[in-house]
Amino acid sequence: MRLIKTKPPNPLKQSASIKGVPYSESGVDVTLIRWMLSLTPAERLRVLHQTIRSILRLKGGVSNT
């Protein structure tokens, strides 16, 4: 499976460079949403897959293959 090269924005860097906090009133990080919306559905599915693999890897449940 191809790796997504697009990286999520760094909210800390954004808040330092852009005035105002990049969170919605309910505390949701809108930078992550905007990043996900910039991807195609297939890329979003790959992001989810990579996220799961990285979490499981941290838990020691999956090898880095």
User: How many residues contact another protein, by CB under 8 A?
Assistant: 29
Contact between 53 and 46 (Cβ < 8 Å):
no
The contacts of residue 58 (CB under 8 Å, 6+ apart) are none
Which 8-47 positions form the footprint of another protein (CB under 8 A)?
24, 26-30, 32-37, 39, 41-42, 44-47
Closest CA to 4 of 29, 38, 55: 38
> Binding of another protein at residue 52 (CB under 8 A)?
yes
Q: Which residues bind another protein (CB under 8 A)?
A: 1, 24, 26-30, 32-37, 39, 41-42, 44-49, 51-53, 55-56, 61-62
